Amino acid sequence: MKTLIISLFIICTIFLAQKQSIGQQFIENDTIWSSDTVRIYNDIVVEYPATLTINPGVYVEFQDNYSIDIYGKLIAIGSGKLPIIFTIADTNSFGDTATLAGGWGGIKFLQNQYDTSIISFCHFYYGKAVDPGAYPLDPSNENIKGGAIYCNVYSHLEISNSRFAHNRSIFSGGAVYAINLQSLIIRNNYFISNSTLQYGGALWLNKVNKAEVSNNIFRENQAVRFSENAWGIAITGAGAAMWLGAQTNNSVIFNNMITNNISPNAALYETSYNCSVFNNIIANNRGPGSMIGHSLSVSSYTNNTIVNNNGFFHNMCGIVFFSKNILMRNNIVHGNISDYYGYKPIQVYSFDPVIADFAYSCNPDEAIYYQGEGNIQDDPQFVNPTPGAGPDYDGLSADWSLLDSSPCVNTGTPDTSGLNLPATDLRGNPRIYGIRIDMGAIENQTVVGLPENLFVNARVQVSPNPFGQSFKVIAPGREKISSFRLFNQKGQQIGMETLMPIDQILVFDLGYQPPGLYLLVTRFEDGTSETTKLVKY
Is residue 367 over pLDDT 80? no
- Average pLDDT for 167-192: 97
Task: Name the more confident of 130 and 501.
Answer: 130
Is residue 537 over pLDDT 80? no
pLDDT score for 451:
38
| Average confidence score pLDDT of the chain | 87
Is residue 20 in a domain? no
Closest CA to 321 of 300, 291, 277: 291
230-258 pLDDT per residue, tens: 666 788 999 999 999 988 878 999 999 99
Is residue 210 in a domain? yes
DSSP code per residue over 368-393: SSEE-SS-B-S---EEE--SSSSTTS
Is residue 435 in a domain? no
Phi, psi of 389 (to 5 degrees): -100, 155
User: Which segment of 22-26, 50-54, 81-85, 372-376 scores lowest on mean pLDDT?
Assistant: 22-26
Q: For strand 281-283 and strand 305-307, is the pairing parallel, antiparallel, or unpaired?
A: parallel
Output the pTM of the full model: 0.81
Is residue 301 over pLDDT 70? yes
User: Which segment of 13-27, 183-197, 365-379, 391-405 scores lowest on mean pLDDT?
Assistant: 13-27
Same domain assignment for residues 394 and 465? no
Which residue, of 376, 402, 428, is where some domain finishes?
402
Same domain assignment for residues 381 and 493? no
Task: Name the more confident of 350 and 169.
Answer: 169
Is residue 72 over pLDDT 50? yes
Residue 279 binned pLDDT confidence (cut-offs 50, 70, 90): very high
Same domain assignment for residues 396 and 465? no
305-316 pLDDT per residue, tens: 999 999 999 889
Same domain assignment for residues 113 and 187? yes
Is residue 181 over pLDDT 60? yes
Same domain assignment for residues 473 and 398? no
123-167 pLDDT per residue, tens: 999 999 999 999 988 999 999 999 999 999 999 999 999 999 999
Is residue 472 in a domain? yes
Segments forming the whole domain that contains residue 310: 31-402
- Average pLDDT for 342-353: 85
Task: Name the more confident of 28 and 356.
Answer: 28
Is residue 242 in a domain? yes
Residue 503 binned pLDDT confidence (cut-offs 50, 70, 90): low
Residue 416 binned pLDDT confidence (cut-offs 50, 70, 90): confident
Same domain assignment for residues 78 and 145? yes
Q: How many domains does the chain have?
A: 2
Residue 502 binned pLDDT confidence (cut-offs 50, 70, 90): low
Is residue 524 over pLDDT 80? no
Same domain assignment for residues 218 and 69? yes
pLDDT score for 130:
97
Which residue, of 402, 423, 442, is where some domain finishes?
402
Q: For strand 275-278 and strand 382-384, is the pairing parallel, antiparallel, or unpaired?
A: unpaired
Same domain assignment for residues 394 and 478? no
Task: Name the more confident of 394 and 357.
Answer: 394
CATH number at residue 465: 2.60.40.3080
Same domain assignment for residues 465 and 385? no
Is residue 283 over pLDDT 60? yes
CB of 301 within 8 A of CB of 254? no
Which residue, of 365, 381, 402, is where some domain finishes?
402
Cα distances from 118 to residues 25, 78, 105, 158, 399, in angstroms, run 22, 11, 19, 5, 33
Residue 480 binned pLDDT confidence (cut-offs 50, 70, 90): low
Cβ neighbours of residue 476 under 8 Å, at least 6 residues apart? 459, 504
Same domain assignment for residues 237 and 102? yes
DSSP code per residue over 437-470: PPSSSS--SS--SS-SSTTTT--SEEESSSBSSE
Same domain assignment for residues 377 and 466? no
Is residue 309 in a domain? yes
Is residue 21 in a domain? no
Is residue 261 in a domain? yes
pLDDT score for 121:
97
pLDDT score for 388:
97
User: Which segment of 403-412, 449-458, 492-501 scores lowest on mean pLDDT?
Assistant: 449-458
Same domain assignment for residues 497 and 396? no
- Average pLDDT for 397-420: 92
DSSP code per residue over 8-29: -EEETTTEEE--EETTEEEE-S
